[in-house]
Amino acid sequence: MAESLTKKITGGFLLALCLLVVTGLVSSWSTKKLIKAMTWVAHTHQVLAELDDILLQLERAQSAHHEYVLTGDEQYLDAYHSVEASMKKEIADVRELVPDNFLQQQRLTVLETLLMERFTQLRQSIDLRQREGFNVALKGMFTENGNHILATIRKEVQEMEYEEWQHLTDRSAAANVSATQAMAFVIGGTLLGVLFLVSAYLILARNLTKHQETIEALQESERRYRNLYESIRDGIVVVAANGVITSVNKEFASLSGWTEPELVGSHCRKIFTEATALQEEERRSRALAIERLPSSHEAELLRKDGTVLPVEVYASFLRDEGGQIIAIQEMYRSTSLHRALTQHRLPTIHRPPTIPKVFSPTLHSIPTVARSS
């Protein structure tokens, strides 16, 4: 029973562990997938921000250019040069963000060429302002070619942004799917884990209840056996297969003069005369070999005070649940009284006693006390 319960508990623990491992692996995979999708979403937002920054920087350059042409103030010229110098880095940053997108790389090359062309126009206008003055430079500010380049630049940036917005839509959808899957796996795994734990608890509680009932029934059986064992008027000794005494009743202790603690754990040769001890050893070995005991036999007990007591012995096997012999239960009856009655010709009825089957012959039924001889 205990072994079966242990196997169930171990099996339940292993099943719970497997469930946790599977849930953890699936959740980890789903979470990694979600993180990857969210990374691409963030990446797309960064590309869009860089493209917007290109147009913003271009607007700043043109504004600084116009202010310088109109006022001739050198601080606007410094702002223009700062933007012009940073434009190449802006293009390089976008190019690094889309290394595997061939179409976007081509558009970046066209955009870079257009920007350089536009900045060349702005520099020429600044040079005119510095050399020719305000009126000449003002005429060159608004040209048809300059407006065409600006329109083309905006068109290229819009096309690039449009493609990135498409990527953003797809990647956001993938991120949502991954998030839903991750949530489903986590919730599903948690619910399965809770369901399993509740089921395991109910099964375990039921088995523990049955186990406790079995223990209580066994204790009650052993209590009844002990009461009956001690109330029998004949001496009883339980001897293990190796000849060690595992139990005696009060009647045998009274019969032999030895106390129970003095006998339990000792070899059975302690209670016999030397000749009887040899006969008992041979008789026990033969009985265990052929799994058969004689109906009765006579023996000589060696009492604690050194006196010899003739007895008649009736024995039976004790077996475990598998039917294996684990001990021999022996009943001792003094023959002194019978002989005395025979000598005085008193009418007596002599019947071999039946050894009481007062308990189920299992390992749990044998009262044992671990003592050294």
Element at 66 (helix H, strand E): helix 2-71
Q: What are 96's two structure tokens?
A: 């690094």
Half-sphere exposure of 90 (CA within 13 A, CB side): 22
136 close to 86: Cβ distance less than 8 angstroms: no
> What pLDDT, on a 0 to 100 scale, did the predictor assign at position 370?
38
Which pLDDT value is given to residue 359? 43
Q: State the Cα–Cα distance between residues 273 and 355, nearest whole angstrom.
A: 24
- The span from the CA of 215 to the CA of 222, in Å, is 10
User: pLDDT digit of tens for each residue in the chain (373 aa)?
Assistant: 556 656 766 776 677 677 778 777 877 787 888 888 888 899 899 999 999 999 999 999 989 888 888 888 888 888 889 888 888 899 999 999 998 899 999 999 999 999 999 898 888 888 878 877 777 777 666 665 678 888 899 999 999 999 999 988 998 888 888 788 878 877 887 787 777 678 767 877 787 787 677 777 666 666 665 655 556 788 899 999 899 999 999 889 888 999 999 999 999 999 999 999 999 999 999 988 888 888 889 999 999 999 999 999 999 999 888 888 999 999 999 887 555 555 554 454 445 555 554 444 444 444 443 333 3
CA 84 to chain centre: 62
User: Residue 310's beta-bridge partner residues?
Assistant: 300
Cα 266 to Cα 104: distance, rounded to the nearest angstrom: 96
Burial class of 264 by CB neighbour count within 10 A (0 to 12, 13 to 18, 19+): buried
Chain-centroid distance, C-alpha 276: 61
Of 253, 251, 257, the closest CA to residue 232 belongs to 251
What pLDDT, on a 0 to 100 scale, did the predictor assign at position 307? 94
Residue 18 burial (C-beta neighbours within 10 Å; 0-12, 13-18, 19+) = exposed
Angstrom distance (rounded) from CA 36 to CA 325 = 68
Q: What pLDDT sits at residue 203? A: 75
**Cβ 104 vs Cβ 163: under 8 Å:** yes
Identify the three-state secondary structure at position 289: helix
Q: What are phi and psi of 356, to 5 degrees?
A: -70, 130
Q: What is the dihedral of CA 303, 308, 313, 319, to 10 degrees?
A: 30
d(CA 262, CA 254): 13
The strands making up 325-334's β-sheet, listed across from edge to edge, are: 245-248, 235-240, 325-334, 308-319, 297-302
Q: pTM to 2 decimals? A: 0.48
Complete domains list, the chain, with CATH:
2-200 (1.20.120), 232-365 (3.30.450.20)
Query: Residue with structure tokens 């595992």?
Result: 246
- Spatial distance between the Cα atoms of 138 and 140, rounded to a whole number of angstroms: 5
